[in-house]
Structure 1
Amino acid sequence: MTYAEFLSWAAYRNRRGSFNQGMRVEAGAALNASILANVNSKRGGFKQVDFMPHAEEAPMSLEEAMESWS
């Protein structure tokens, strides 16, 4: 594989996500679970990653952190 091909696959993976079929299924099920939890909960606020045991939550950006402080 050439370096150009590697960069092309890396860009594809960054845009479209993992090639792991199990993680894709887990993400779909987690999306459904988060929607149901938010609809049936009084406080809501559930995120998709809350229902994905094999995924890590993305780190908070500086802008999000500054917004949460105010």
Structure 2
Amino acid sequence: MGGATVDEAKERLSAAEFHEWLLYREKHGSLNAGWRIERLLAMLCALVVNRTGGYKDGTAAGLADFLSYQMPDHGLSIEQAIKQWH
């Protein structure tokens, strides 16, 4: 976001714009189109499994069952991320 490298992004994005992008990602998820499509398909797969009775052992399907990759949770709040940005 903002450039090819972290240094370029720091040069091109203001702290306010960076904050806006963080809020957007927090609300809408990754900016990566491939991951967004994969997540939508995983939601559809989980819905189909759950609407047809779930797994044989009676448990419900979740997104993680159908995602090949999950974004790691770095545990950073928006405020912490902004501090790291400066």
Query: What's the TM-score, normalizing by structure 2?
Result: 0.58
Is it true that 1:48 corresponds to 2:60 in the alignment?
A: no
Query: Is contact 1:31-1:48 (8 Å) kept?
Result: yes
**TM-score, with structure 1 as normaliser:** 0.69
3-state secondary structure, aligned to 2:69: coil
| Structure number having the greater helix percentage | 1
Percent of pairs identical after alignment?
29
> Residue 27 of structure 1 corresponds to which residue in structure 2?
39
In structure 2, C-alpha distance between the alignment counterparts of 1:45 and 1:19, rounded to whole Å? 28
Amino acid at match of 2:68: P
Higher relative contact order (CA 8 A, sep 6+): 2
Structure 2 unaligned spans of 5+? 1-12, 74-86
Quick check: 1:37–1:44 contact (8 Å CA) kept in 2? Answer: no
Larger radius of gyration: 2
List per-residue Cα deviations over 1:7-56 (Å, max 9, x = no partner). Answer: 11111111111110000110111111111112233514111121001116
> Are 1:10 and 2:22 matched, yes or no?
yes
User: Following TM superposition, where does structure 1 have runs of at least 4 consecutive aligned residues deviating by more than 4 angstroms?
Assistant: none
2:79 counterpart residue number: none
